[in-house]
Every structure is written in C-alpha cells, then in structure tokens.
Structure 1
Amino acid sequence: MKEILLLALISLGWIFNYSHRMAVPALAPLIREDLGIGNAEIGLLMTSLLLPYALIQVPAGYLGDRFGRKKMVVLSIIGYSLSSALIFVARDYWELVGIRALYGFFAGLYYAPATALISEIFKNRKGSALGIFMIGPPIGSGITPLIVVPIALTFSWRTSFLVLSLMSTMVGILLLLTIKEDWKSVGRVSFSIPRGVILLSIANFLGMSAFFAVLTFLVSFLVDKGMSVEKAGLAFSLLSTFGILGSILGGFVYDRIGKRSVLLAYLLNSLFTFLILVNQNILILVLLGLAIYSVGGIVTAYTAEKSRKDNLGVVMGFVNMMGFFGATVGPYVVGVMIDSLGYSNALLFVPISYLLAATLIFLDEKLH
C-alpha cells in the first residue's frame, strides 16, 4: 500500500512538472502578442528551461542514489513550484527566459531519482509502474490549457503560472508529510555509463527533439490552419487525454514484448506525425496521442534493463539528459524553420526525426 501511495504522489508531481513547462505552448499566442515576440522566441522559452534541465540529469541521478531519491523528488517539486511562481512578477522577455531556466534546473532534479526509485521498488512490474508514472506528460499537457487559458483570459497569462505553482506546492508538501520512509537502493554508487546505452541515448535525443517540437507548436499549427485558440487548445487536450491511455498501454506492452516495443513506438510516431501534417483529422489526432505518449514509459523501462543496481540513477539520468539535449534543440530549430518555411514544411522535421530514432533502435537490437 505504501508503494502504491508513493507511485501516486510521484506521478502527480510529474504531472505538474509537465504542466508548468507546457503552459508556455498553451499560452503562446497570448505571450507573443503581449511581449511582441515571434515563434523563435517562443521556442527559446522552451530551450531556456530544457538546457539546465538536461544538464542536471546525471547529477540528479547520482545524488538521488547517494542521499535518498524521495528527498530529491520533494526538493524538485518545491523548487520548480517556487521558481515558476516568479513568472508572475516578470516584466520583460529576458526576465522570463531567466526564470524559465531556474525552473528547468529544479524540474530537472525529478526524473532520474523518481524513475530509479520506481524501477527498484516494482522490479519485474517496472514497465507497468513506469507506464503509470509516465501519464505525467499527457495529463500535465492535457489539463494545462483547461487551467491556464481561462485564467489568462480572465486575469493575465502571468497569473496562470502563480495558480499552477500553488497547486504543485501542495503535492510536494503531501509527499513530504505522508511518506516517511525513504528508499535507498545502493550504498556505493557508480558513475559508469555502459556502451550499450549509446544508441538508445541518441535515439532518445531525436525522439525528444521531435516530441517537444510537437508539444511546443501544435496549438500554433492548428491556429495557422484556421482553428480558434480555444478549439486548438481543446484539440491539444484531446491529444493528451488519449496520451494517458497510450502511456499506460506502452508500459504494459513493454512488460510483454520487451525492447521490440521501442522500435514499434518510434515507427508509429513517425507515421502519425506525418499524417497529422497532411490532415488534421480527429482520428489521426487520437492515434497520435496514443503513440506519442507511449514512448516515455517504454524507453524508461528499456533504460532500466540496460543498467546495474549501482548505476541505475546515473544511467537513467544520462539517457534522459541526452533526450533533453534534443528537447532543447528541437523547439528552437523548428521555431526558426517555421518563421522561414511555414508550419507544414518546418514540422516535417518531426516524422523524419522519429524515423531516424527507429533506425538507431533497429541497429541497437542487432548489435546487442
């Protein structure tokens, strides 16, 4: 029962971790108008948080292994909540960039300790448990427009971040007060990175670059195709809603067919992201939601299989770091491409990146 409660609270913290970061794409049209900026600058707002987020991954995994993973998770929640609240007092674009970078640092302390802790506790059921944990991205992304857009239209877009911060702070306090025991799996921690995770890490770089390009510009792409901001926000929420099911199913699929599910997930994402550029059909959007959010739990479980007990957190952090280097590059590069090529041409970057990731996983299976 204690393990289930821990999984529930850590998953909730992961939901808000994503909700804070995805508030910018949901509010992008309003932020652009208020600050007088373009798509490249919106992409840089994602890059500004994702770069420190990526850099802190390996240290976060090590510190969690060494000093206690639950402690790092609580520190991350409180830190990212207070940092994001500072957006309420930001008055120009570069202040906003700096605050998002601070948020990225604290948000980056979360993933490696949390996934290492879940993998160690649930062991042979880690795929299913991590699939549940990875509902954080689709739920966090899905509920964000429903929370922040009405607040932004009623008060201001800055107020939306303050409300999110109050909500996530409560999760950190609950985790601190209700879970007294701290799990610590190893006494001696290794900083080693096995060669067997290199191709997986590069594939994760490409996949996360594509994933965050979609999340950053989907609303703006749909608006460009003629949707209102409100309808585009609801479409984004639909994608994320079915992503919840996709995340859970992905974890269960991994427990049953193992590493083959990684190749399958990347191929499906390449197909559906291409199709959504051609036709913004609801069915395609649903299928994309199932596929695009399945990757997280699958890749995380596969990473755990490639790790040892003494370097679990470090390897989790390394693979996620590589992924978020990709996430750092993707939104900015695609934003620049959109400003010069238009949405449809620029976003071809996404299915091509997923296809390259699938190719690397195919090679990884052949070599290992």
Structure 2
Amino acid sequence: MGLAETTPTLPPAQVRRTAAVTVGLLMGVWVIDYIDRVMMAVALPFIGAEFSLTKTEQGWLITVFSIVYLLCQVPGGILADRYGARRQLLVSLLLWSVFTALTGLAWGLVSLLVIRALFGVGQGLFPGASFKAMAERTTPESRGRAAGSMLAANQLGAGAAPLIVAPLILVLGWKHTFWVTAVAGVVIGFLLWKMLPPPLPARLNGSDHTDRHAVPLSHVLRSASVWKFAALFCATNMLGYGMMTWVPSYLLEERGISLIDTGIMSAIPSLVMCASTFAGGWLFDRYFHDRARLYVIPLLLVTAALLVLMLRAETAIGFTVYQTLALTVAGLSTMGILGMPFRALPPAVIGSGMGVVNVGGQVAGVLAPVLMGALVDRFSYTAAFGLLIATTVLGALIAVIVPQRPEQFTLGTKETE
C-alpha cells in the first residue's frame, strides 16, 4: 500500500484549524521574541548612563547577541529537522526568558555582554524550529500567507515593545522591566506546549514528496540559491536592525523627545510595518510568486528614496512620518525576500535551509548596531542612518540575481538562473 492509502484523510476544517492554531501560537511567540529584543534598544540610554558606556559599547550589547544568534541558526535548524520542532520551541523560549530576567541582575558591561550572548543562544534555537513547525502543520498552498502572518508578528512585537517597555521603565526602572517580560515568556511557553497541534500527515504538508535522506545538509549548504537569498536578507535586514537599535536613542538625544513620546514614535513605524508585511504575503502569493524581482526591486528603491527624505526632515514628526512610510514599503517586500525559499525548500530540510537564509539576516544584526554606533561616535546620526540607505540600495542590486521561480531554486550543484 502507498502512503496515500494508509494515511487517514483529515477533514478540511481540521486542516485549516491546525494551520490557524499553529500560526496564532507562533505569532504570539514571535511577538514576545521581538519585545524581549527591542526592549534592550529602548533601555540602552538608561543602561549606558548607569554604566557610563559609549555609543560603540552600547552597540556591542546588541551585536554580541546577534553574533551568537547568527551562529545558532544552522545548528538550530538541523536540530529541528532531526528531532522535531515542538520540544525545541519550548526549550528555546524558556532559555531566553531566563536570560531576559538575568539581564536585570547585570552589574556592568562584561556581565551584560555575557548574559546577552547566552540570551542569543536561547533565541537562536527558535527560528528554525518555528519554520519547521509551520511547514509540518500547513499545506504548501497556504504556506506563503502563513509565513507572512508569522513574520508580521515580528513587527507587531517591535512596535508593541516601546509602548510597553517605556512606561515600565519609568515606573519600575530598566532592571525590573526585564524581569516582568521574562514572566510573559514563561506563560506563552506553557500555552505553546499545551496547545500546539500535532503535524499534518506527510501527504498534506508535502513532506511525502521528499525522502529525509534524499537531500543531505551538504546540498543545502552548497546551494547557490540559498546563499543568494541569505545575502539579500542580510542587506535588507540592516534597515530593521538599524532602526530598532538607534531610533529611540536618536529621538531622545538629538530631538529632545520625552521617553513616553519616544516610545510612541518608535512604535508607530513598526506597527504599520506589521500590517504591510501581512499584506505583502498576500500580494506575493497572489500576484508575484513567480516574479519576485519585479516585486522586490521597486519596493526597495522606493524605500531608499523615503529614507533620504527621512534624513532631510526638519522635525521629529517629519522624521517619524518618512520612517513609517519607508518601513511600510520595506514590509511589503519581506515576503518576496523570504517567501520564495520558504515555499520552495523541501519540508524535510526547511529548518536547516531557512537557518542558512536567516544567517544572512543575522549578519545584519551583528553589523548594523555596532557600525552605526561607531558612525554616531565618529561622525553623526546622519552618517549612521545614511548607511541604511546604502544597504537598502545594495539589497535591490542583489535582488537582480536571486531565483524568481521554485523550479529555479535547486539544492544541487547545478542551478538555473
């Protein structure tokens, strides 16, 4: 008997419910993930003042996390492919919640660097497991929209963080704020463990078409397509990490905005980007899934132009308006950048494959905070934000060479263009 004959048929309603519950839970975890990341950027001015840190040293608090997070991407994906996603999701969330809490106990730069590095281990195990969990619980036809929803939660978390964290810092202080958010991570971890549905049958999620041993990891690592998308994600993710890290400090120090107003003005662009990322997943799936370049390149060039206008703005409100417009357009491009590899990779290696792609994105997390901090120390915030314009244009150039259709995306040594 074949697999289709021995596997019971699930009602369509149950298939849809499995996908919906999975996406909802993963969105919740991604929101907590980004709140825990972004709160460090909101707290940086206060941490810097307490420990007398330069802007470059403050940038290293973000970068050390990003280095470790980057190094954990491929191992995390391999572990998820080999042992499954559910247990790894829980372990990852509990680990990073512990180190979020420990951040509030730090006594200086060295202790902060060590704790944030260990925090990077906890969060670095999560992305590969989340992509694996979604691939196992969605059908190929719905996977682009599901991924768009999950990735939109990143921006929801990034937007919610300043609104939540800024008032907490004013009321509780920055140390106690880290403890409060750690508790929220433990709660969402418990819900994930109890509520995550079992995977769909292989013939529904597409994994019956790929033998686990037919696509070795070495083929993933040698795939030019995978590394092209990693490079594209690196260039375009500089914008997100740069804005997330330095806009709060810029508004506080250069524009003289209060902490609460800074939280609100930092939140607006990310919340709008959340909606545009979701919309981008729908647009990409419906109209551009085989024309990624036509979709991504114009959006990135428009984003760069809006960033130029942002730098030329004379008021804090003008800066925020153009920043919001730029991140809105950038959000539309997200699924064109990540949707193709996520949709085209075989489910058996989607954890490790997306881990490689995410390595590129996290190289940006390593570079953007410390490079921009150094540019602020040596020149100005204008020079620092100018770096983001250059990397966005670079992303548009890299998009010229990425595969546009799934049949161009291969895992062997010979690939079509």
Shorter-chain TM-score tier = over 0.9
Which residue number in structure 2 is paired with residue 213 of structure 1? 242
| Runs of 4+ with deviation above 6 angstroms | none
Which residue number in structure 1 is paired with residue 154 of structure 2? 137
Any idea what the Cα deviations from partners look like across 1:239-261, whole Å, max 9, x if unmatched? Answer: 11101111101111210212133
Q: C-alpha displacement at 1:180, in angstroms?
A: 5.2
Q: Which residue of 137, 156, 162 maps to 2:173?
A: 156
CA 330–285 in structure 1, closer or farther in 2 if over 3 Å, else same:
closer
Structure 1 range deviating more: 161-170 or 135-144: 135-144
Which residue number in structure 2 is paired with residue 177 of structure 1? 194
- Aligned partner letter, 1:274: V
Partners of 1:296 and 1:104 lie apart in 2 by 23
Q: C-alpha displacement at 1:161, in angstroms?
A: 0.8
Q: C-alpha displacement at 1:362, in angstroms?
A: 1.2
The CA RMSD measured in Å over matched residues stands at 2.0
2:379 matches 1:321: no
- Aligned partner letter, 1:233: G
Any idea what the Cα deviations from partners look like across 1:260-317, whole Å, max 9, x if unmatched? Answer: 3332442233222222111152532331231233444332212224423332221100
State the secondary structure of the residue aligned to 1:89. Answer: coil
2:216 matches 1:190: yes
Partners of 2:257 and 2:231 lie apart in 1 by 35
Asked if structure 1 preserves the Cα contact closer than 8 Å seen for 2:167 and 2:260, the reply is no
Matched pairs, number? 368
2:92 matches 1:80: no
**Rg larger in structure:** 2
Asked if structure 2 preserves the Cα contact closer than 8 Å seen for 1:277 and 1:347, the reply is yes
2:291 matches 1:262: no
2:369 matches 1:331: yes
Asked if structure 2 preserves the Cα contact closer than 8 Å seen for 1:49 and 1:103, the reply is yes
Which residue number in structure 2 is paired with residue 40 of structure 1? 56
Q: C-alpha displacement at 1:365, in angstroms?
A: 4.9
Q: C-alpha displacement at 1:70, in angstroms?
A: 2.1
Q: Which residue of 294, 309, 314 maps to 1:275?
A: 309
Identity of aligned residues (%): 23
Partners of 2:378 and 2:245 lie apart in 1 by 17
CA 195–103 in structure 1, closer or farther in 2 if over 3 Å, else same:
same
Structure 2, unaligned runs of 5 or more: 1-16, 405-415
Which residue number in structure 2 is paired with residue 124 of structure 1? 141
Q: C-alpha displacement at 1:182, in angstroms?
A: 4.6
Partners of 2:333 and 2:178 lie apart in 1 by 28
Structure 1 range deviating more: 143-152 or 333-342: 143-152
State the secondary structure of the residue aligned to 2:347. Answer: coil
CA 35–295 in structure 1, closer or farther in 2 if over 3 Å, else same:
farther
Q: Which residue of 245, 261, 277 maps to 1:231?
A: 261
Partners of 2:246 and 2:330 lie apart in 1 by 15
2:269 matches 1:253: no
State the secondary structure of the residue aligned to 1:310. Answer: helix
Which residue number in structure 2 is paired with residue 345 of structure 1? 383
Which residue number in structure 2 is paired with residue 167 of structure 1? 184
Structure 1 range deviating more: 56-65 or 254-263: 254-263
Which residue number in structure 1 is paired with residue 410 of structure 2? none
Q: C-alpha displacement at 1:179, in angstroms?
A: 2.3
Partners of 1:195 and 1:78 lie apart in 2 by 35
Partners of 1:172 and 1:182 lie apart in 2 by 18
Q: What TM-score, normalized by structure 2, do the two folds share?
A: 0.83
Which residue number in structure 2 is paired with residue 147 of structure 1? 164
Asked if structure 2 preserves the Cα contact closer than 8 Å seen for 1:62 and 1:313, the reply is yes
2:321 matches 1:291: no
Which residue number in structure 2 is paired with residue 107 of structure 1? 123
CA 278–53 in structure 1, closer or farther in 2 if over 3 Å, else same:
same
- Aligned partner letter, 2:262: A
State the secondary structure of the residue aligned to 2:94. Answer: helix
Partners of 2:97 and 2:172 lie apart in 1 by 20
Which residue number in structure 1 is paired with residue 347 of structure 2? 309
CA 182–122 in structure 1, closer or farther in 2 if over 3 Å, else same:
closer
CA 225–71 in structure 1, closer or farther in 2 if over 3 Å, else same:
same
Asked if structure 2 preserves the Cα contact closer than 8 Å seen for 1:211 and 1:292, the reply is no
Which residue number in structure 2 is paired with residue 26 of structure 1? 42
Q: What TM-score, normalized by structure 1, do the two folds share?
A: 0.94
CA 174–228 in structure 1, closer or farther in 2 if over 3 Å, else same:
same
- Aligned partner letter, 1:230: I
Partners of 1:249 and 1:113 lie apart in 2 by 24
Any idea what the Cα deviations from partners look like across 1:320-363, whole Å, max 9, x if unmatched? Answer: 01210121111101100111111012210001101011101113
Partners of 2:387 and 2:71 lie apart in 1 by 24
Partners of 1:295 and 1:95 lie apart in 2 by 38
Asked if structure 2 preserves the Cα contact closer than 8 Å seen for 1:13 and 1:171, the reply is yes
Partners of 1:161 and 1:218 lie apart in 2 by 20
State the secondary structure of the residue aligned to 2:402. Answer: helix
Which residue number in structure 2 is paired with residue 243 of structure 1? 273
Asked if structure 1 preserves the Cα contact closer than 8 Å seen for 2:69 and 2:124, the reply is yes
Structure 1 range deviating more: 69-78 or 341-350: 69-78
Partners of 1:116 and 1:355 lie apart in 2 by 31
